[in-house]
């Protein structure tokens, strides 16, 4: 029996046990443990890892002394006891990410988390050389989340065989869905640890329809066995999110809606750490019912980015548009928008109190597209997305509330309607971030209540920030035509902002 005596909060304690290897241990042996610290208890499932080795993993959520007792139908594994000490988390360990303040996210220690993710579906199936290249690219980029599949993927630009297979296979390539392949899982876990080292959350896509190996059409019993094995193996990784599927609705013929509900229920009830849970649609008319209690946040595919305010109101949960279409030039509309458009859509989502996901699909003679296999980034949007992330993180903690559709008003008076409808405006106390989008104003009038705002013009493409002078409008200046008059006029008639002569500007107001 192997164990660790000290473990940092929100990292992995692992208990290694030797047990029976005859028959099929994946089916024949049940193993679990209860971990206790004061009034806290975690019930954790163990798993078979091949060659007579069994493992139980626990992510301690509280400092102090933890004790454990195992339970198994195999006598060699039953009734094992022990203890370990959970020490304080290191400075760079903030714990798992959870929902915060209804529409946003924060780490377990309360630190704000703003998801700026990318999609790299099959990057862990490409071999060490390309996978290391992907990690090097991620180290230089500003993404803090990645959408990635467990199973390999069969799709245009992604036809190669994986290096490892998740199940044992016979000489003809037929999978035995009752026997997992530990070699596959060791590799997958290594890549998860690589992401953790980079501070990147792993949004794990559990099923997808793009398959030639039979993983998407397993029977219900095999599906549930796989789901529980997944929870046991990687649920103790603090940076894991659960995404039930990529485009679940394309699998409804083999996995009906009630089965997706069952999967969500299992995750909700059996993951001892309550990791984030979502499900992703294909057809924009086939949104899952994200109001269901097992769903923690809305993962959506939809190019109608200005609907983010309505989605917030409809579902009452954080909105992450993880597929608002991809920057690239493939012969499919979902992967052929410009870098400028990708950046534009990110700003609309974020300024309206939501979040977005990046993807890149530039044609390559080796079919090495980032969205499918990883490797290197060839586009331009990722740099500007990193710039937006820094702006949000430099603002007040907690995220933005959309001005449009809310009862709050960024600025009083008649001009408020422009910020309500035409622009994307988010506020957080005295902090306002307004994205002008396609409007190319040289002069913009704002009915400020006072003149103590620091105002910056943000060039969302050139990634520059420059102060803007607010000139108070006096007398009969032309600008007054659009200001409220008579009894409804604010005390200060308004200010004219002289803006850079560039498209896609944003304005930041700070007191």
Mean pLDDT, range 402-421, rounded to an integer: 54
Q: Are residues 265 and 375 in the same domain?
A: yes
CA dihedral 94, 15, 58, 227 (to 10 degrees): 120
Tell me what pLDDT residue 118 has.
98
Which of 35, 65, 87 is the endpoint of a domain?
87
Q: Are residues 10 and 116 in the same domain?
A: no
Q: Is 103 helix (H, G, I), strand (E, B) or coil?
A: coil
Total structural domains within the chain? 3
Tell me what pLDDT residue 275 has.
98
Token digits for 434?
A: 């307004």
Q: Is residue 94 part of a domain?
A: no
pLDDT band at 379 (very low <50, low <70, confident <90, very high): very high
Tell me what pLDDT residue 496 has.
81
Q: Is residue 462 part of a domain?
A: yes
Q: Are residues 334 and 418 in the same domain?
A: no
Tell me what pLDDT residue 415 has.
46
Which of 60, 87, 114 is the endpoint of a domain?
87
Residue 440 is part of a domain; what is its CATH number?
2.60.40
The conformation of residue 186, written as its DSSP 8-state character, comes to H
- 409, pLDDT greater than 70: no
Mean pLDDT: which of 254-258, 441-445, 484-488 is highest?
254-258
Mean pLDDT, range 409-431, rounded to an integer: 66
Q: Are residues 359 and 470 in the same domain?
A: no
Residue position matching structure tokens 């704002």: 446
Tell me what pLDDT residue 450 has.
62
- 502, pLDDT greater than 60: yes
pLDDT band at 491 (very low <50, low <70, confident <90, very high): very low
Residue 204 is part of a domain; what is its CATH number?
3.20.20.80
Tell me what pLDDT residue 157 has.
96
Which of 100-104, 190-194, 339-343, 423-427 bottoms out in mean pLDDT, i.e. has the lowest? 423-427
Mean pLDDT, range 219-234, rounded to an integer: 98
Q: Is residue 179 part of a domain?
A: yes
Strand partners, 81: 69
CB 277 within 8 A of CB 264: yes
Q: How far, in Å, CA of 438 to CA of 502, rounded? A: 10
pLDDT band at 408 (very low <50, low <70, confident <90, very high): very low
Strands (E), 95-165: 97-100, 104-107, 112-113, 116-119, 145-149
Q: Are residues 212 and 125 in the same domain?
A: yes
Q: Are residues 38 and 107 in the same domain?
A: no
Q: Are residues 361 and 421 in the same domain?
A: no
Average pLDDT, the chain: 92
pLDDT tens track for 69-87: 999 999 999 999 999 999 9
Mean pLDDT, range 371-391, rounded to an integer: 98
Tell me what pLDDT residue 475 has.
58
Strands (E), 38-124: 40-48, 53-58, 64-72, 81-87, 97-100, 104-107, 112-113, 116-119
Q: Is residue 182 part of a domain?
A: yes
Token digits for 292?
A: 């269901």
Tell me what pLDDT residue 419 has.
57
pLDDT tens track for 443-455: 887 766 666 789 9
Residue 58 is part of a domain; what is its CATH number?
2.60.40.10
Q: Are residues 304 and 221 in the same domain?
A: yes
Which of 336, 359, 394 is the endpoint of a domain?
394
Q: Are residues 83 and 184 in the same domain?
A: no
**Beta carbons within 8 Å of 386's beta carbon, 6+ residues apart:** 116, 141, 142, 143
pLDDT band at 3 (very low <50, low <70, confident <90, very high): low
pLDDT tens track for 127-176: 999 999 999 999 999 999 999 999 999 999 999 999 999 999 999 999 99
pLDDT band at 108 (very low <50, low <70, confident <90, very high): very high
**Percentage of the chain with pLDDT > 70?**
91
pLDDT tens track for 13-68: 999 999 999 999 999 999 999 999 999 999 999 999 999 999 999 999 999 999 99
Tell me what pLDDT residue 477 has.
55
Tell me what pLDDT residue 224 has.
98
Q: Is residue 399 part of a domain?
A: no
- 259, pLDDT greater than 60: yes
The range of the structural domain enclosing residue 459 comes to 411-510
Q: Is residue 504 part of a domain?
A: yes
Q: Is residue 400 part of a domain?
A: no
Q: How far, in Å, CA of 243 to CA of 323, rounded? A: 13
CB 43 within 8 A of CB 56: no
Q: Are residues 78 and 146 in the same domain?
A: no
- 1, pLDDT greater than 80: no
Q: Are residues 171 and 251 in the same domain?
A: yes
Mean pLDDT, range 90-99, rounded to an integer: 98
Q: How far, in Å, CA of 450 to CA of 322, rounded? A: 39
Q: Is residue 93 part of a domain?
A: no
**Percentage of the chain with pLDDT > 90?**
83
Q: How far, in Å, CA of 464 to CA of 475, rounded? A: 34
CB 341 within 8 A of CB 329: no
Q: Are residues 52 and 153 in the same domain?
A: no
Mean pLDDT: which of 98-102, 418-422, 498-502 is highest?
98-102
């Amino acid at each position: 029996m192997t164990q660790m005596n000290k473990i940092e909060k929100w990292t992995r304690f692992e208990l290694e046990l030797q047990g029976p290897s005859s028959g099929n241990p994946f089916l024949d042996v049940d193993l679990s443990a209860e971990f206790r610290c004061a009034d806290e208890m975690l019930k954790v499932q163990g798993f078979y890892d091949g060659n007579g080795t069994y493992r139980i993993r626990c992510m301690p959520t509280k400092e102090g002394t933890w004790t454990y007792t195992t339970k198994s139908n195999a006598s060699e594994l039953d009734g094992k006891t022990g203890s370990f000490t959970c020490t304080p988390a290191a400075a760079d360990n903030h714990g798992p990410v959870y929902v915060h303040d209804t529409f946003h996210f924060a780490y377990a220690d309360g630190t704000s988390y703003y998801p700026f993710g990318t999609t790299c579906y099959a990057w862990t199936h490409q071999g060490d050389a390309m996978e290391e290249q992907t990690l090097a690219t991620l180290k230089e980029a500003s993404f803090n989340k990645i959408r990635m599949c467990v199973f390999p993927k069969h799709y245009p630009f992604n036809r190669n065989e994986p290096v490892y297979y998740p199940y044992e296979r016979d000489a003809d390539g037929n999978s035995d869905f009752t026997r997992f392949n530990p070699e596959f899982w060791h590799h997958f876990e290594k890549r998860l640890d690589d992401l953790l080292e980079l501070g990147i959350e792993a949004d794990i896509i559990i099923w997808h329809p793009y398959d030639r190996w039979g993983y998407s059409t397993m029977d219900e019993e095999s599906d549930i066995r796989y789901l529980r094995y997944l929870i046991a193996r990687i649920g103790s990784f603090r940076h894991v999110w659960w995404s039930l599927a990529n485009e679940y609705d394309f699998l409804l013929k083999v996995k009906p809606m009630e089965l997706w509900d069952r999967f969500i229920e299992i995750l909700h009830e059996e993951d001892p750490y309550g990791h984030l849970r979502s499900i992703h649609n294909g057809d924009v008319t086939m949104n899952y019912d994200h109001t269901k209690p097992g769903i923690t946040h809305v993962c959506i595919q939809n190019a109608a980015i200005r609907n983010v305010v309505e989605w917030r109101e409809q579902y009452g949960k954080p909105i992450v548009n993880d597929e608002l279409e991809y920057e690239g030039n493939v012969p499919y509309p979902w992967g052929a928008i410009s870098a400028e458009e990708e950046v534009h859509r990110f700003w609309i989502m974020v300024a309206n109190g939501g979040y977005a996901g990046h993807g890149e699909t530039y044609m390559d003679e080796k079919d090495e597209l980032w969205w499918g296999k990883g490797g290197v980034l060839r586009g331009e949007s990722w740099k500007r997305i990193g710039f937006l992330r820094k702006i949000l993180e430099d603002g007040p903690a907690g995220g933005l509330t959309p001005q449009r559709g809310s009862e709050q008003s960024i600025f009083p008076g008649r001009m408020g309607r422009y910020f309500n409808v035409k622009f994307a405006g988010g506020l957080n106390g005295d902090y306002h971030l307004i994205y002008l989008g396609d409007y190319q104003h040289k002069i913009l009038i704002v009915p400020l209540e006072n003149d103590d705002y620091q105002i910056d013009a943000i060039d969302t493409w050139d990634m520059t920030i420059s102060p803007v002078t607010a000139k108070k409008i006096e007398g009969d200046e032309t600008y007054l035509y659009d200001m409220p008059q008579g009894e409804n006029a604010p005390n200060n008639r308004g200010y004219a902002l002289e803006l850079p002569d560039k498209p896609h500007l944003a304005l930041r107001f700070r007191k």
